[in-house]
Structure 1
Amino acid sequence: MNFALILFSALVITGGIWLLDALLLKRSRGPDEREPMLVEYAKSFFPVILVVFGLRSFLVEPFKIPSGSMMPTLLIGDFILVNKYTYGIRLPVINQKIVQMNNPERGDVMVFRYPADPSLDYIKRVIGVPGDLVEYRDKRLTVNGKPVLTANTGTYSYVGNGLNYISAAVYDESLKSTPHTMMTEPDKPSVFPPQVMDFPYRENCSYNAEGEGFTCKVPAGQYFMMGDNRDASNDSRYWGFVPDKNIVGKAFFIWMSFDDFSRIGTTIQ
């Protein structure tokens, strides 16, 4: 569901009714005649819709985490805020960038429109920026020939799909100055080659047939994304790169978490 389009439509309809009444209908009413109910509702809702539309289009937009692909950083059901202007100001609905600001950096947690179906919003971590050579073999990440530093910090257990009890190894990973957490399951391959789709710039990637890993060269204007829950994430390994035009914004704040109240008010690393 394109909520931005729904809000925009409501804005146009209520604003149109208000304007039509001000220019035409109001003149035909008597001085003591009451406004039609439709006009009253339009005049009441238009300012509210305008404020909501402006805030979520240009400043911040709330999202709910639907899956465990970003665990342990983000949990299923977390409510987060996404900064809409960090990577540039875009026109709502058509998502056309009109003001260039910052570019996504390695390590950012980013919301974007899923390239294979832009009606869906995904959230992953930026692993590779344009021009990067990303390699992931035997659960070890290398960017431009330099291994990304990791430090084991313990284990994380949770109930996965099918009520399976999963215990994963947790690491601090340093893609930028502030490390973030990610986790892997030692008994799973780095990638499942049969699940790899035929995506744009597929020739930029090579996969090991046994699932030991892959190498991808990130094209200009594209980004390589992976989930922090490395072995339970449908990400760029399988459906390819995220074009700049699909970017929604940078996730930065957890404003509600019903499973763990201590997470409320924390920033996203």
Structure 2
Amino acid sequence: MTKKKESKGELFKTIIIAGAIALGFRSFLFEPFNIPSGSMVPTLLVGDYLFVSKYSYGYSRYSFPLGILPFGGRIAEDVPERGDVVVFRQPTDVSISFIKRVVGLPGDRIQVKNGILHINGEQVKRTYLGNTKARNASSVIDFKVYEELLPNGTKHYIQERSDNDSFDNTVEFTVLEDHYFMMGDNRDNSRDSRTSSVGMVPAENLIGKAQILFYSHDGSARIWEFWKWPFAIRYGRLGDTII
């Protein structure tokens, strides 16, 4: 009887230690995140799974599960660079996490004119690469793909349906102190800092920097269709770094 109690006690202890290690890894090092929408296409696709480095920008209350630690600001803070792909808590609803690209730093003036990003009055260079197509429930949509070159030399891909869509002409925003201006790479299908539902993102709301893809699937296999799983995996994306 005593041995059974000791055995149960050891099992419980092992579970507690394993849980603490997993919680610490997730809170201080890397947190997994999946892509549920197309707002970061072509960089990130629906069905991508990635690791977010929690230490890249230091730690805030949102670095921890449910934001349970009641402190303000950031500890061991480092600042994002323009062009970083960042996971953050939505300012208007901190229960929701978003992933977008940093295009505006504190003090920057950001504006979109005829679909082209302008930073501090200067047009950001974009180079046309070609067309791509995406299918929704009822039609096929044509997109133009560009390489965008930010002022710090960071290059990444974006796509545009047109240069006259909802947020292709904006007012000029001045980024607040300790805030960042975020935009999706799928410029005509992204709820980001151009909208009042998101707005500029406080530094405190940053969770971490998107670093590497560890899994990706195209959605063609349902959870119970295990025989289809091998054919749904996008093998070419596994292990890709995120830029």
Same fold (TM over 0.5): yes
User: How is 1:249-264 mapped onto 2 (pairs within 5 angstroms)?
Assistant: 249-259=208-218, 260-264=234-238
- SS in structure 2 of the partner of residue 70 of structure 1: coil
| Structure 2 residue identity aligned to 1:248 | I
Distance 1:70 1:78 in 2: 11
Of the three residues 157, 176, 182, the one matched with 1:219 is: 176
| Structure 2 residue identity aligned to 1:221 | D
- SS in structure 2 of the partner of residue 89 of structure 1: coil
Whether the 8 Å CA contact 1:224–1:241 is kept in 2: the answer is yes
Q: CA RMSD in A?
A: 2.0
- SS in structure 1 of the partner of residue 157 of structure 2: strand
Q: Does 1:146 align with 2:146?
A: no
| Structure 2 residue identity aligned to 1:127 | V
Q: Does 1:61 align with 2:31?
A: yes
Report the Cα offset of residue 130 of structure 1: 0.7
Residue-by-residue CA offset, 1:66-121 (whole Å, 9 max, x unaligned): 00000000000100110100101345234645533420121110000011111111
User: How is 1:220-239 mapped onto 2 (pairs within 5 angstroms)?
Assistant: 220-238=177-195, 239=197
Whether the 8 Å CA contact 1:132–1:218 is kept in 2: the answer is yes
Whether the 8 Å CA contact 1:86–1:249 is kept in 2: the answer is yes
Residue-by-residue CA offset, 1:18-45 (whole Å, 9 max, x unaligned): xxxxxxxxxxxx9x36327874542121
Of the three residues 147, 166, 173, the one matched with 2:148 is: 173
Distance 1:265 1:147 in 2: 33
Of the three residues 200, 205, 220, the one matched with 1:241 is: 200
| Structure 1 residue identity aligned to 2:240 | T
Whether the 8 Å CA contact 1:58–1:90 is kept in 2: the answer is no
Distance 1:122 1:170 in 2: 23
- SS in structure 1 of the partner of residue 94 of structure 2: coil
Distance 2:83 2:89 in 1: 18
CA 1:145–1:78 in 2, change beyond 3 Å: closer, same or farther? Answer: same
Residue equivalent to 1:16: none
- SS in structure 1 of the partner of residue 134 of structure 2: strand
Whether the 8 Å CA contact 2:60–2:204 is kept in 1: the answer is no
Distance 1:212 1:90 in 2: 34
Report the Cα offset of residue 245 of structure 1: 1.1
Report the Cα offset of residue 149 of structure 1: 1.2
- SS in structure 1 of the partner of residue 93 of structure 2: coil
Report the Cα offset of residue 257 of structure 1: 1.2
CA 1:98–1:184 in 2, change beyond 3 Å: closer, same or farther? Answer: closer
Distance 2:163 2:138 in 1: 18
TM-score (norm 2): 0.83
Percent of aligned pairs sharing the same letter: 41
Structure richer in helix, relative to its length: 1
Of the three residues 83, 101, 114, the one matched with 1:125 is: 101
Whether the 8 Å CA contact 1:61–1:81 is kept in 2: the answer is yes
User: How is 1:14-53 mapped onto 2 (pairs within 5 angstroms)?
Assistant: 32=2, 34-35=4-5, 39-53=9-23
Structure 2: gaps spanning 5 or more residues = 219-233
Whether the 8 Å CA contact 2:114–2:164 is kept in 1: the answer is no
Residue equivalent to 1:14: none
Report the Cα offset of residue 187 of structure 1: 6.3
Larger gyration radius, structure 1 or structure 2: 1
Residue equivalent to 1:10: none
Residue equivalent to 1:164: 139
Whether the 8 Å CA contact 1:129–1:223 is kept in 2: the answer is yes
Report the Cα offset of residue 155 of structure 1: 1.3
